[in-house]
Chains A and B, each alone.
Chain A
Amino acid sequence: MTAAASTSSPVSPTSPPRRAHGRGAPLPSWVLGVLGIVGFLATWELVVRSGLVEAEYLPAASAVLREIAELAGTSEFWAALGRTVRTWAIGLAIAASAAVVVGLVIGPSRFLRRATHSTIEFLRPIPSVALIPLAVLLYGTSMQSTLLLVVYAAFWQVLIQVLYGVGDVDPVASDTARSFGLGALARIRHLTWPTALPYVMTGLRLGAAVALILTVTGELVIGGGGIGTEIALANSGGAVPQMYALVVVAGLIGVVVNLVARVVERRALHWHVSVRREAL
């Protein structure tokens, strides 16, 4: 999941500048970050080497890294990775476009918003993994099973944000647009959409992380190929180092997804105050 602070504010505010407390010049934070990673790997290696945890259950860091390098040389690994990324992307795209359309229809109308509120609040907290048995019955172990989970989970994340965003439209601007004779579509294009866009981007960022979780979960529990299925296979086959390697890869995919989501958000909102202020 993302650390995104409040789900209602589109872009987290910049933190106030802090004075350095330390004596002498402190190390730049990226150096400390690298030190942290190295320290973690070293501790992991030591814990295993010293026999604190048996290597049978927790292979040493070096063994897992070697396993990743080996995996990267096989075409099966890249096929599985491609499958996971494809399911994730298709699921997120379906969920996001459906949520934006539904949000733009419901959002501007007070009547529709009130009428659908209870239903949305009821359907939203239903854990999407509850749908796993249904997905298996309907689609077997094909990609559609996983897609169903991904779309369900990501849809609500985006929809809620779109609804917040549409609700944020300045009433004066809305009345002005109306008295200048802008049609419904033109109002959406020039007023509602730009207002809602920061919220939509937050929704996309949250949705992207959730979609990845559900993609891997679906592959893990339902099967049908992809990184999740590879992990399940490695687990049942007792290939412990490979399992750890694949889990690390799953984490790296997550890191990339988060980074890409943040870049896309900044690109799409380059005109927005919150991004411009950071750049200045």
Chain B
Amino acid sequence: MKVLKSIAYAVTLPALLILLWWVLTIDSTNFYVPKPGELATTFVDTWFGERFREDVMPSVARFAAGTLLAIVLGIAAGVCIGSVRWLRSLLEPMLEFFRAIPPPVLVPILMVLIGINDRMKIAVIVFGAIWPVLLNTIEGVRAVDPVLVDTARTYGLSRWQRLRTLVLPSAAPQIAAGVRQALSIGLILMVISEMFASSSGLGFTIVLFQRSFAVTEMWSGIVLLGLIGVAVSIVFQVCERKILHWYYGQKEVQHGR
């Protein structure tokens, strides 16, 4: 009963919205807004076939490579910078500046520096997505309980052991917050880098549809990007729950639920 109720809650509003869309477009000839059925068939025709292998997969692969690299580099550099006090003070203003640069403006710069190829697109994603991970890792490492650090030291834990059993776990919730931001920036940059300079990929294809006024196909591309965004966020939430299960458990206990 309880499960049914929550399913009903989750489904009702989207269903109503689609119904409304269907009713409103039932006899409209509006060029910009396709009918729901039409959009669904176009979606399948457009994306499940040749295009899936040639445009969607490479885009997603570049996104995955870039974001993973950004996360790994961000955490590694963040741990180094966060645990050395003078290094942090030395680099903080520069990092604040780099973080503040809107990442898409890096596309033209890296285009000049690297040229137009896959490496450039991955570099754009890394350069844009690394900052939230890096800065959150620094903050997280800095906020490790000093009593625990001293205790670990007194018990003779080596540097590596301290890192693995104390620093990383206690910074993990904050790192996760950074990773969440990095993922959405990575997705934006995947699209932008392809819109700007490419002859394949999702971003390029969608712009191509728009320029040739293939409106229904364009909408189907927007829907696909939306679905990728939702999928990425679900994967992230599942991983976060897995890795940080102890943290959520702790929070639930604290809130007395």
Contacts and interface: CB of A to CB of B under 8 A. Distances in A.
A in complex with B: yes
A57 B132 contact: no
- Contact residue range for chain A? 35 or more
A12 B135 CA distance: 14
Interface of B: 6, 9-14, 17, 32, 85-86, 89-94, 96-109, 111-113, 131-132, 135-136, 139-140, 142-143, 145-146, 173-174, 177-178, 180-181, 184-185, 187-188, 191-192, 195-196, 203, 206-207, 209-210, 213, 215, 218-219, 221-222, 225-226, 229-230, 232-233
Given A235-B112, A254-B100, A37 B94 contact: yes
Contacts of B142: 15
Nearest to B149: A18
A247 B109 contact: yes
A95 B107 CA distance: 27
Given A131-B222, A250-B101, A1 B131 contact: yes
Contact of A3 (B10, B91, B107, B136): B136
Contacts of A117: 9-10
B101 A254 contact: yes
A50 interface: no
A21 B85 contact: yes
Contacts of A251: 97-98, 100-102
Given A1-B185, A129-B195, 20 more contacts: A2-B99, A5-B136, A16-B146, A21-B85, A22-B85, A114-B6, A114-B9, A118-B9, A125-B184, A127-B187, A127-B226, A130-B221, A133-B222, A134-B218, A134-B222, A212-B102, A231-B108, A240-B112, A251-B98, A251-B102
Interface of A: 1-7, 12-13, 15-16, 18-22, 26-27, 29-30, 32-37, 39-40, 53, 57-58, 114-119, 121-134, 136-138, 209, 212-213, 215-217, 220-221, 228, 231-232, 234-235, 240, 243-244, 246-247, 250-255, 257-258
Contact of B104 (A12, A125, A216): A216
Contacts of A26: 85-86
Interface SS majority for chain A: helix
Contacts of B178: 3
Given A118-B14, A217-B192, A231-B105, A3 B99 contact: yes
A58 B113 contact: yes
Contacts of B213: 137
A127 B173 contact: no
A107 B221 CA distance: 32
A128 B187 CA distance: 10
A36 B104 contact: no
B70 to A, nearest CB: 12
A138 B139 contact: no
Contacts of A34: 93
Contacts of B225: 126-127, 129-130
A16 B178 CA distance: 21
Contacts of B174: 5-6
A36 B195 contact: no
Given A117-B10, A119-B13, A255 B100 contact: yes
A232 B226 CA distance: 27
Contacts of B32: 137-138
A215 B104 CA distance: 10
A29 B12 CA distance: 55
A216 B105 contact: yes
B181 A1 contact: yes
A113 B106 CA distance: 39
A230 to B, nearest CB: 10
B210 A32 contact: no
A114 B11 CA distance: 11
Given A16-B143, A255-B97, A213 B102 contact: yes
24 contacts: A1-B131, A5-B139, A15-B142, A16-B143, A26-B86, A39-B90, A57-B113, A58-B113, A115-B9, A119-B13, A128-B188, A129-B192, A129-B203, A130-B221, A130-B222, A132-B191, A133-B207, A137-B210, A213-B185, A221-B196, A232-B108, A247-B109, A254-B100, A254-B101
B105 A247 contact: yes
B101 A258 contact: no
Contacts of A12: 139
A32 B229 contact: no
A3 B221 contact: no
A58 B113 CA distance: 7
Given A130-B225, A133-B221, A217-B188, A243 B109 contact: yes
